[in-house]
Structures are given as structure tokens and as C-alpha cells.
Structure 1
Amino acid sequence: MRHLGEQQWRFFTLIPKRSPIRILGYFSSHSKPDPVSKEQQQLLVDAISESLQNRDNWDTLSTKFSSANLSDSLVDQILLRFKQPETAKRALTFFHWSSHARNLRHGVSSYAVAIHILVKARLLIDARALIESSLLNSSPDSDLLDSLLDTYEVSCSTPLAFDLLVQGYAKLRLLESGFDVFKNLTDRGFSLSVITLNTLIHVAAKSNRSDLVWRIYEVAIDKRLYPNETTVQIMISALCKEGKLKEIVGLLDKIHGKRCSPPVIVNTSLALKVLEENRIHEGMSLLKRLLQKNMVLDTIGYSLAVYARTKQGDLVSARQVFDEMLQRGFDSNAFVYTAFVKVYSEMGDIDEAEKLIAEMESSGIDPYEETFNSLIVGCAKFGREGESLKYCEMMVARGLLPSCWAFNEMVERLSKIESVKLANEILTKSIEKGFVPDEHTYSHLIQGFVKGNDIEQALKMFYEMEYRNISPGFEVFRSLIVGLCSCGKVEGGEKYFRIMKRRLIQPDAEIYEALIKAFQKTPVLKIGRLAA
């Protein structure tokens, strides 16, 4: 660094207040700044750098350079004079002095240069502080990541700067932005640390962002950032929080026949989640990578591949994968059979689905809830209500419970009063074993009883709803009121009409029409009472 002569030095000292004149473009507090030449800028950079090299304190710096006009470009140049680890603290001194003593609002580029310098010098606490300050105080249109990328080479930095950036986003709970930066960096080929991965998913999990937890983990696997034991622990905790750990463990027991390790549980959950979202191509690519790294078992890989093909409706390909699985010595399992049963049921080929269930049982493989649910819904949708009820009754007798969705799909399509009564009996048995009905369950049953002219039973279902604190909706009231009016019980219809209005549920034209017709058949009652 060249030494400044006496004549050059005077250009950067404090100009006395009594002198309003401009000296080579530098000005007193009473003057307006003029454009500064490149030579003058260089002199200023040299002067401030020399003062920092001499370890001048803030007061001295303020005395010497109170009139200096510090642009973002000049700040960056001065910081880069001290980019080596042994001089990094002087860069930090200048950064803070220019900010506090001069009230300079640093641009995002200056933050980026300072962060790189501090990271390279392993002054990580200071680097983290600047990252957080930049993220909190920079203007919305500034992008710290872009600036860090732009100044990465000139600062001779290390990738650790980007790890700290993602961790900074996590600490400030800027999770979506942090994930975008994480993905952007991995797309650019930066290899972030597993510590950064763990930090981001840990904060996402604590913030109840389970969706984001899995998105982050998926990107990590896709970019070959593989988990460690801490990652797996966080992901297992996330599964517990979602209430899905027991479900996935049970599923893996059906596929593998015995308990799997935590990493296998987590990785299978990820692959299954992607496939269930109908992202088949991404799911198969992910599954291939997991198999190559021995992160899932082969039997699980084959089973999920069959499931993926059935999700696409490609039964020929699914059967080919299944046959290859058997040829390689892996046993068939309930999950694979259920995948086939589900697709055949959705297609309306109930006979083929029933053959598969018979094949399962002859092989000593027990159908489970999803197997029966698929068949129940398939039978109901394709007009085989008797068989739908049969399979529902069968699964309850085996100690299994239908899903609420499957039960509702079945009851909604029942056309005979005998079937509705049987469904109600199955519901009673299921509730005793832990089944939790919802509003639609009761609504469909009430409509079924009303259509079958069993108003008394429909009313009992209504009272049961109230007892279970399930609020009846519009369809329940409509069915009851229309049903009561059609059988001449107009006062009962009027009663539920008033209850309906008290609960701020608006009647429609059908309800008014049913009540009016009922009143017309009952001269003693006044139609005007409806307006009360």
C-alpha cells in the first residue's frame, strides 16, 4: 500500500467550518458534493486503507474522513483491500464504522463482500450477524444470494458462506425463502453441508411446516446431499408429529415382513409421498437413487415400482415388474396385491379384484384395511351394493375398520331400505370398535331412511348426531323437513325448519315448497307461520 504524502493527506482531513471552499472535489459540511474523479476516489481508498492498516480507532477515522463521500463502490474496494484472513477484522472495523459513525446504509453488495471476508477468516459469529442484518434490513428488491454469488470469486471466499446464508434464513423463520435459496444453490452445483440441511428441516418441523420438511428432504436426496443420523431423527419426529409413523411402519411390515430401520422408514415415506401426489416420473427417479445408495430395501423398491405402475393404470407394466420381483426370489405381499385390487376396483372389474383377494388369502396373505376399502368403494360405484355391504361387514368382523371415506361412499349409493338398515347396523358395530363417523356419514344414512319412508329412524340418526356433537348441515335438514312433510307430519317439518333458521342455515326453494304443500293439506295450520 503506497504511503500518502503530506499534500495528498490534507484532502481527507476535516475541513474547518469557517472555510466553505471546495478542495479537489471534497467538501465541507456546508457545501454540496461534486462528482469525484477516479484519481480522487483512489486517493480516498488509499487513505482510509492506510488508516485502517495503522489500526486507527473510530474517533480518528471520523476526524480524518468526516467529509468523505463513501459510495457503495468505494466501500467494496476498501473492504477488498482487507480480504485476507489476517486483515479481516480491519474490514469489519471499517464496515461498522462507516455504518454507525457515518450513518451509511450499506448496499447488499457491501454486505456480501464483508460476509465473504469474515467467512474466509472463520469469523463466523460476525458473518452470521451481518447475514441476519442484511436479511432483515435490506430493501425488498435486493437479493443477498445474487450479491454473494457475484462477489464470490473476487472475495476468494468459500462455500461455507452459502451454508451460513441458508442457516440465517432458517434462524429468522424465513422458511420459504430459505428453501428457495437452498434449492437455487444446489441447482447451481454448490454442495451444502448436512448441518445446513438439518438446520432447515429442524426449523421447518418446529414451525409445523411438515409439507416443507418433505420438500426440503426430497431436494436434498435429488441433489445427492445425503442424511446423517440427526437428519433421520428429525424426519422420524416429523412423521410422529403428522401422526403417520404408525401407518408407515405398519405398511413396511406388510411389505418386508419385519421391522425396518429408521432410515428405511424415512426414505420409503418420501418415495411413497411423491408417488401418492401422482408425480410418477419424479418418484421413480427418486426411488432409483435410493436403491443405488442402498437407502431402501430391494423388496420395497419393487413393491413401490408396482404401485407406481398401477397408479398410472399401466397394468401390463405393473404385472411385468411383479413377475420380475417374484423371479428374483422376493415374496409377494399385501401392499402389492392391494395396489392391483385398487386399480381393478376403480376400473369396475370387481370379479378380477375378488380373484386377487382369493389369491392373497390362499397364499397366506391377509387383506388389510386399504384392500377392503378399495373393494367396498368399487362395488358401490358400479352398482353392486350387496357385495359392498358384504365386504364392509366382513372387514369389521375381522377387527378391521373401514375408512370414513369408504363407508360414506358406500352408504351414499345405497338404494334399498334393507341395505340402509344393514349399513346402520355395521356403523353401530364399527363405532364400538373405534370408528369415527362424520357429518356425511349421518347425512347419507338420514337421506336413505327418508327415501325408505322410515322417518322415525331418520330422526334417531339426527339425535345421535347431536349427541356426538356433529353439527347437521343443510342436506340433513332438507332431508328431514321434506321427508316429514311428505308423510303428513307438517308440525315436525316446521319444527326442524325453525331449528334450521336459528342455526343460520338458509332453506332453499324445495324446503319452502314442501312446507307450503303440507300446510295446504292441513287447513288448520296457517301458511303465514313460515314467516315468523
Structure 2
Amino acid sequence: MSSPMASRASASLGAGALSHNNFKSWCSTNFVFYTTWYGPPSPAHQHQEEDPATLSALSEAIKTSFSVAEADPLLALPSPSYSHSHSLLKLLPSLTPHHIIDLINLNPHNLPPFSLLSFLNYLSSSSHPTVRLSPLTYCTMAHSLSSHLMFPHAQSLLNFLVSRKGNNSASSLFHSLLRSRPRSPSSPPRSAFVFEALIVAYTDFGLLPDAIQSFRLSKKHNLPIPFRACRHLLDRMLKTSSPEAASEFHKEILDSGYPPSVYSFNLLMHRFCKVGKTKNAQILFDGMAEWGLAPTAVSFNTLISGYCRAGDLEEALRLKGVMEERGVCPDVFTFTGLISGMCKESRLDDANQLFQEMRDRDLAPSDVTFTALIDGHCKNGRIPFALDIYQQMLRAGLGPDLVTYNTLINGHCRAGDLKSARKLVGEMIVMGLKPDKITYTTLIDGCCREGDIESALKYGQQMVGEGIEFDHVAFTALISGLCREGQIVDAERTLREMLKAGIEPDNATYTMVIDGFCKKGDSRMGMKILKEMQRDGHKPGVVTYNALMNGFCKQGQMKNAGMLLDAMLNVGVVPDDITYNILLEGQRKHGNSINFDKLIRNEKGVVQDYASYTALRGLHSKHLGLSLFCSLVAGAFPGMPNWSAPGMLLARLIGSLAPFLASLDWLVPLVFLGLDYWSNLVARLRDWFTEHEDLFLVYRGPCVTAEDFDRNFG
């Protein structure tokens, strides 16, 4: 079964898929129009199976079988009339690929190239599998078409051949073209086109490694540098390959004699800047001088824009100075790039200063310049300044576009001024601009922030009515608003609609819904959504687990909280301070035991903040947390023997004093003295206990509370 690539090429074979105009300039540059006489390959390339009688009979049969109407040989191939004469059908079983090659090369009856190409198409069809044409046959025909200046048809033929051979075929096809290359005794070879056409064919089919190999083979065999194909391949690499690969190929063709141009350097610089690799763009910029090129305003603007995107505004300003030193005047694009960069970094005073400098130079700001300033002021809550810039834009005769209106609407929504935002929407509609997805999403988010869920849902309905599909941002904004207002059932239904629409919620969206259910006391539903989240391939983070754990602890479900902690640790999610405080507070309020040793030994092992201390003090004041306190001490000082007799005794001794210590306010600052202080203190105590261990060997068994301690040691 032929591939789609082959089918597409086969359909265009012989149909003149490339226009005459595309090749006219190339022809006038690369060819002198000699006679269209076609010279066969040199004797060294020819096989020794010539059969004059068969060739003559075949030529006559083709004449009678294919009637060719007049047509422009550079525009289209006429439709052949297949009469299928008895003589041709009789000859077909005895033909070999070598007969077809000899027919093209020798052409004893001087058949028109149309007839030969029509015959080749006829043999290529699936209805006559008895004659299997080799790549050498097609390559010979391509040379013949090229020698008759039928370049579009030669290109189509090579496209067909590349589609059949596919990937990693450059070496074999190139050598087939070499073997079939003609040599005219009265003129230099005109076969350079077919080697260039081979590179173009590989490029068009996306087989870029084969295209590059074909170029290198052309260079190796001292063929003319295929300028048109090199430019075509470089343009394709700039769109589809990495900028590093495109830059490497660019250097290779320059070293081979390809004429350097500022345009090519600018394209490469733009590609590097677009992916944030401004240092690579700078290297190209600096290297232009080596090829005798001077950077233009476009070169400077490309690099300045790249530095602004990367947040390196000082370097962008330095380049502006270099630009002026070299006599290249900054233009509107220079200032617009700098102003946009300043606004993104909230350097609005610098942006305004550049805007004024632009005006002083009599440069008219574009709508992009005004919009960048408006956006900067809106995002920093300076709505009056944004509106002033907007009025300046109107006075300059520039009509705001959809981007400008969306920027202003977003600024008003962020400031909580929904009334002004709605007014702008009405003004936009009067101006003939239709709200788009960004407009509606901004309004939905603004309404949800202000708690106006009814208006948010109304805008959602309008959005759908306009045929605009909800995207990830719109769904998330609506879910966030519903959760904020406690309408968690509606939020969960919206989450289902989001999944049904094929839009994957992120972890933050799932977490909002889980937290909403937990706050409503429905931790079971929160757990269900967590499992669904994991089943769909998401990996919940510590924030998601904390939301659910908080729900369990507030409802006194400490056993579930403990199991959730185990699950959390098993999947490699590290608890944070919030996890620690949630569990301590739950233990203090509900007093059920949790294996805190897992939490403490796997994470901090110390009291992290005042909230943790408060929960711990309350817990000990109820005599319910001695084992937890002992674990804290042991986990905090890993140098202490692991529950040896002195270590265990020290932990229990400190634990027995916990009710007394927890009642003293002066203990609060001591908690924050730091690990070094307490490590030093415990080390001294440990040494003393180790030295006097024999004094305490009388102790046996666990000690859980202060009363137990007094009973055993009193």
C-alpha cells in the first residue's frame, strides 16, 4: 500500500505541479538557453543492452498510442489519449527498465518529451505491473525534462520518487542521478537543476536530514552551490528545527560559498530570541561583521526585543546606545520593544520616559506602543494613567483594537470596577468589535472575584451562544468563583463539564474543589476527587494533600488523617510546615494517636513556628502527647543514641516536665533559639547520663505521663 506522501506525489506526477513563474527567474540566472537537444550519458555510464529494433518499434507504438495536443511545456502536461494499440500491448511484456532508459536517452524517432513522460506515467500506473521501473529510469527522465527546460515536471517527477523511497534514501537517489547525468558535446551540462530539485523534494516532504545529505553530496561532487534549495531548506529549518541546527546549517552553507545576507542573520537571531536564547542571538549579531555585514535597525530591534523578553533591560538599553553610536536611528519598533519590556517589569516611570523621548524625536507611537503602556498601568492598578494613555491614543487618530479593549477591561476587572468594564464592552461593540474568548473570560473572572456568580454565569451563556468554546482559563475562573462563594456542588458540576469538554484541569483546579468539599464537612467527597485525580494521571502535591488532611482533622477523623499521611509519604510527597501544624492541631483538639514519628523523622523533626508550639503546649497540658514530645526530641537530635537507655531516659525525663514547661510563657522564645543551641545542651546532658547510666538501670517499662514518671522515680 502506498503512503499518503506517495499518493500525493503520484497525483501531481506529470501535472506540472510547480508553476512556470517559480522557475523562470531561476532559469534565467542559471541557464543560457541553448538548443533543447538532449545528450545521452557518457559511454561509461551506459549499459550494453541496446536493442535498436525494439526501440524503433516501441517509438512507433508510442506515436500511435499517445496523441499529444499543443501545450506550454512549462505550464502543464496535456492529457494523453490512451488508444492502447495492439503493437504497444504486444511489446509491453518484453520491455525492461533498460529499454525505457535507452528510449529516453537515444530517442531514435525524436519523440516529444510530452510523449515520453506520458508513456512513463502509463507504465507507472498499477494497471501494468509487468514493467517495473527503477529509480534510474525516473532519474533519466528527470534529466531529460530538465534539458528541455521542463523544470516543473522534473521537480514533480523527483517529488514522486522521493515519496516512494522515503527516509534515508538520499545517498541512493543522488547516485542514481549521477549515473544518469547526461553530457552534451555542444554545451556544458544542464543537469544542475535536478540535484537542486532533489534537495527541494526532501525539504518539502519534511525529510530534512536527507535534504542536508543531498546538499553535502552535491558539494562533495563539485556541483554548483544550489542557492535556491539552500534558502528553501534554511527557511524550513527555521520553522521546524531547533535554532541550533538551523544556525549550524547556515554556517555550513556560508562556508560553502552561499552569499551571506543580513536577512538570514536576522531570521536566525529572531528564532533564538523567541526561545529565550539571547546569548546565541548575540553571538550571531557579533559575527555579522566577519562576513562583511553591518547590522540594520531590524538587527538591533530583534536583539533588543529578545533582551526585553528575557528581562535584561539594562542590556537592551545599552544596545540602544550602541545603535545610536553606529549611526542607526532607533525607530518606533525600538522604542515599542523597550517600553513593553519596562512595563512587564513594572518600571513604569522608565516606560513613560521612553515614551516622551519617542515623542521628542517626532516618532509617532503605534497602537502596539499605546497598548503596551495601557497594559503596564492596568496591571499595576494605575487605571487613571491607563485611561489617560487611552485618550492620547484616540487623539492621535488611532482606533483601539480588540487587544487594547481587552487590556482595559482586564484592568477594570482587576480593580473591581465591573461597571466601567461593562461600559467598555458596550463601547467596543459600538465600534464594530465583537467580544472574543479573552473578553468573556476576563469578565467571568472579574465577576467571580467580586462574588457576582450570577453575572459570571450569564457571560458564560453569552459566550457559548456566540459559538465560543470555554477554555481552561474560563472553566478555572468559574470554578474558583463558585468555590469562593461556597457553591461547591455547582463547582463540582462545572469540573465535570470541563472534563467532558476534553479540557484537563490542573492540580490547582482539583485542589480548589477538594478544599471546598472539606470546608463543607464532606471530606469523603474530597477523597473521591483525589482518587479520580490520581486515576487520570495527575500527581497531587503537598498543597492538595494538606487541603484534604485539614478536612479530616477538623472533623476529628484522625485515623483517616493518619492513613492519608502514610499514603502521602508512600508516593514521595514530602510534608511541609502546614502539614505538620494541621496534624498537631488535630491531635490537640481530638486527642487520637497518630504515628507522628513518620512525619517527624521523614521531614523537619523540629518545632517550626509559634503555631506548632501553641498546639504542642496545649497537647501537653492535657497529658496526651508525651510520646509525641519524646519523638520530637529524638528526631531533633539525631546524634543521640537511638532509644538507648540514656537516650530514652532523657527523652522521657524531658517529656515528664512538659506540663510544667508548657505552662511557662518564657518557653516561647526558647523554642526559636535554634538547633545548634539545643543540640549543644542535649549533648552535655547526654554525656552526663551516659556517664551515670548505672544509676538508672533500676528503671524498666514505659512511662507515658507525668504521674507515671513520679510513680516510677519517686
> TM-score normalized by structure 2?
0.41
Secondary structure, counterpart of 1:398 in structure 2: helix
Deviations along 1:277-314, whole A, 9 cap, x unmatched?
A: 346546985998799899x9944444444334444555
Give the match's secondary structure for 1:401. Answer: coil
Question: 2:353, 2:458 → 1: CA distance?
Answer: 39
Distance 1:45 1:151 in 2: 15
The 8 Å contact of residues 108 and 142 in structure 1, kept in 2 or not, is answered as no
Alpha-carbon distance in structure 2 between the residues aligned to 1:53 and 1:466: 76
Query: Structure 1 residues 346, 65: CA separation in 2 closer, same or farther (over 3 Å shift)?
Result: closer
C-alpha distance after superposition, 1:236-288 (max 9, x if no partner): xxxxxxxxxxxxxxxxxxxxxxxxxxx99x99995786466346546985998
Q: Helix, strand or coil: the match of 1:105? A: coil
Question: Which residue number corresponds to residue 195 of structure 2?
Answer: 162
Structure 2 counterpart of 1:478, which letter?
I
Aligned to 2:133: 106
Give the counterpart letter for 2:132 in structure 1: R
Q: Which of 157, 170, 173 lines up with 1:147 in the alignment?
A: 173
1:390 equivalent to 2:385? Answer yes
Counterpart position of 2:475: 474
In 1, distance between residues paired with 2:152 and 2:427? Answer: 62
CA 1:276/1:117 → structure 2, altered by over 3 Å: closer, same or farther?
Answer: same
**Could you say which residue in structure 2 is the equivalent of 1:8?**
none
For structure 2, the residue ranges without an aligned partner over 5 or more in a row are 1-45, 62-86, 184-188, 504-508, 523-714
Which residue is equivalent to 2:52?
Answer: 52
Letter matched to residue 385 of structure 2: K
Q: CA contact under 8 A between 2:448 and 2:481: conserved in structure 1?
A: yes
| Matched residue, 1:176 | 205
CA distance in 2, matches of 1:409, 1:437: 13
- Describe the shift of the 1:484–1:284 C-alpha distance in structure 2 as closer, same or farther (beyond 3 A): same
- Deviation of the 1:341 alpha carbon: 1.9
- Counterparts of 1:87 and 1:142, CA distance in 2: 38
Are 1:109 and 1:148, in contact at CA under 8 Å, matched by a contact in 2?
A: no
Asked if the contact 2:453/2:482 (under 8 Å) is kept, the reply is no
Quote the residue 1:18 is aligned against: none
User: How many angstroms does 1:336 deviate by?
Assistant: 1.1
Once residues 123 and 415 of structure 1 are traced to their aligned partners in structure 2, the CA distance between those partners, rounded to angstroms, is 64
Q: Distance in 1 between matches of 2:265 and 2:411?
A: 35
> Size of the alignment, in residue pairs?
408
- Structure 1 Cα separation of the partners of residues 500 and 451 of structure 2: 28
Q: Is residue 409–residue 425 contact of structure 2 (8 Å, CA) maintained in 1?
A: no
- For each residue in 1:499-527, what CA deviation from the matched residue of structure 2 results, as whole angstroms up to 9, or x when unmatched? 99799679979679979999x9xxxxxxx
Which aligned pairs between 1:267-282 and structure 2 lie closer than 5 A? Answer: 274=271, 277-278=274-275, 281=280
CA contact (8 A) 1:306 1:321 kept: yes
| AA aligned opposite 1:401 | P
Query: How far apart are the structure 2 equivalents of 1:514 and 1:457?
Result: 21
Report the Cα distance in structure 2 between the residues aligned to 1:65 and 1:443, rounded to whole angstroms. Answer: 69
2:390 aligned with 1:356, yes or no? no
| Partner residue, 1:343 | 341
Aligned to 2:410: 411
Q: Judging changes above 3 Å, is the alpha-carbon distance between structure 1 residues 434 and 475 closer, same or farther for their aligned structure 2 residues?
A: farther
Q: Counterparts of 2:170 and 2:110 in 1: how far apart (Å)?
A: 20
Q: Give the match for residue 334 of structure 1.
A: 332
Return closer, same or farther for 1:128/1:88 CA change in 2, 3 Å cut-off.
farther
1:344 counterpart letter in structure 2: M
Following the alignment from structure 2 to structure 1, what is the Cα–Cα distance between the partners of residues 495 and 122? 72
Asked if the contact 1:52–1:90 (Cα under 8 Å) also holds between the matched residues in 2, the reply is no
Q: In structure 2, what is the Cα distance between the partners aligned to 1:413 and 1:326?
A: 39
In the TM superposition, what is the alpha-carbon distance from 1:53 to its structure 2 partner?
Answer: 8.1
**CA–CA separation in structure 1 for the residues paired with 2:484 and 2:199:** 62
Q: Distance in 1 between matches of 2:330 and 2:439?
A: 35
Please give the alpha-carbon distance, in whole angstroms, between the structure 2 residues aligned to 1:471 and 1:351: 39
* Aligned CA distance change for structure 1 residues 388 and 330 (closer, same or farther; 3 Å): farther
Correspondent of 1:429 among 422, 427, 430: 427
CA distance in 2, matches of 1:413, 1:436: 19
Q: Following TM superposition, by how much is the alpha carbon of 1:159 offset from its aligned partner in structure 2, in angstroms? A: 0.9
Instruction: Rate the CA distance shift 1:365–1:424 in 2: closer, same or farther, 3 A.
Output: farther
Cα separation, partners in 2 of 1:103 and 1:389, compared to 1, 3 Å: farther
Helix, strand or coil at the partner of 1:319: helix
The percent of aligned pairs where both chains have the same amino acid is 14
Kept after mapping to 2: 8 A contact 1:84/1:121: no
Alpha-carbon separation, structure 2, partners of 1:477 and 1:369:
32
Deviations 1:39-63 (A, max 9, x none): xxxxx964x32x2389542499999
Give runs of aligned pairs for residues 5-154 of structure 1, distance below 5 A: 46=48, 48-49=49-50, 51-52=51-52, 56-58=56-58, 75=98, 79=101, 103-113=130-140, 115-116=142-143, 119-120=146-147, 131=158, 134-135=161-162, 138-140=164-166, 143=169, 146-149=172-175, 151-152=177-178
Residue 451 of structure 1 corresponds to 449
Is the Cα–Cα contact under 8 Å of residues 155 and 194 in structure 2 kept in the other structure? no
Could you tell me how far 1:448 is from its partner in structure 2?
3.0
**Aligned partner of 2:410: which letter?**
V
Q: Deviations over 1:452-473 (max 9, x none)?
A: 3455655664565466554555
Aligned AA (1:143): S
Match of residue 20 from structure 1: none
- Indicate the structure (1 or 2) with the bigger Cα radius of gyration: 2
**TM-fit CA distance, 1:406:** 9.1
1:116 touches 1:148 (CA, 8 Å); kept in 2? no
**Counterpart mapping for 1:233-248 below 5 A:** none
- Residue 332 of structure 1: SS of its match in structure 2? coil
Which runs of no fewer than 5 residues in structure 1 stay unpaired? 1-43, 205-209, 227-262, 521-532
The answer to whether the Cα contact below 8 Å between 1:446 and 1:458 also exists between their aligned partners in 2 is yes
SS in 2 for 1:106: coil
Distance in 2, matches of 1:194 and 1:398, equals 45
- Partner SS for 1:361: helix
CA distance in 2 between counterparts of 1:416 and 1:440 reads: 17
Contact 1:380 1:388 in 2 (8 A): yes
Equivalent-residue separation in structure 2 for 1:328 and 1:497 (angstroms): 62
Residues 409, 153 of structure 1: CA spacing in aligned structure 2 closer, same or farther, 3 A cutoff? farther
Separation in 2, partners of 1:277, 1:166: 28
Residues 413 and 275 from structure 1, CA distance in 2 versus in 1: closer, same or farther, beyond 3 angstroms? Answer: farther
Whole-angstrom CA distance in 1 between matches of 2:339 and 2:375 = 11
Q: 2:225 aligns with which of 191, 198, 205?
A: 191
Which residue in the other structure is 2:579 paired with? none
